[in-house]
Structure 1
């Protein structure tokens, strides 16, 4: 059975995240942030992609698998159930469905890690994405 990993960088340095990814055998990071910019050093799209590439890890940004602004706002307020409901509605949209299928196909072929900000996967939309991918391809989820 294949394995799908997820990781949040909330309390981490870029170097620590990359090391954890390497230790887990991750081949491609799938960035599931709607906005791949970050105030945390090293986690904006261009710099993160370059650093991952240097470490031998691929990078793909699937913007449609990110939480829309109302969902991000709910999550910031600690309203996880509201964020999940907003994201579930968003995930039903055609663009999100296409990117979900793309992520599932990548997970069939390689060890991928879904990346987002939140340290706790249970409070992050990436847990929903991971569950959907595993439903599609049959895999185990490991939250790094």
Structure 2
């Protein structure tokens, strides 16, 4: 990691680095951020500092955190990350797990999953399609 900016709190430097990764597509929409333990090792900081950085990103809407799943880049495109003439639409729907998804999630075929699809068009042409799946939160 580059040398931190003089006088800027360490968590802000980490948040800025993660923001750049999200907006550049290194961490694509819907993808999980590295685990807190990986980030503490990468940036050589305490876990609390990483948590502050993630909280700052959460406040700006760049990431969301789900209990038991982790923190992931949100599916909405960010104003600075869009090319002129680009538009993104996001849809969400409940689907039944096929054999491949059931194996990945270690659930039965047909189990309910939430599918989120983000489609980006630039000047009318489809540029990217990102689909993410997650288990539905069940009430117990």
Q: TM-score, normalised by structure 2?
A: 0.28
Q: Between Structure 1 and Structure 2, whose CA radius of gyration is higher?
A: 2
Q: TM-score, normalised by structure 1?
A: 0.28
Greater relative CO (CA pairs within 8 A, separation 6+)? 1
Higher helix share: 1
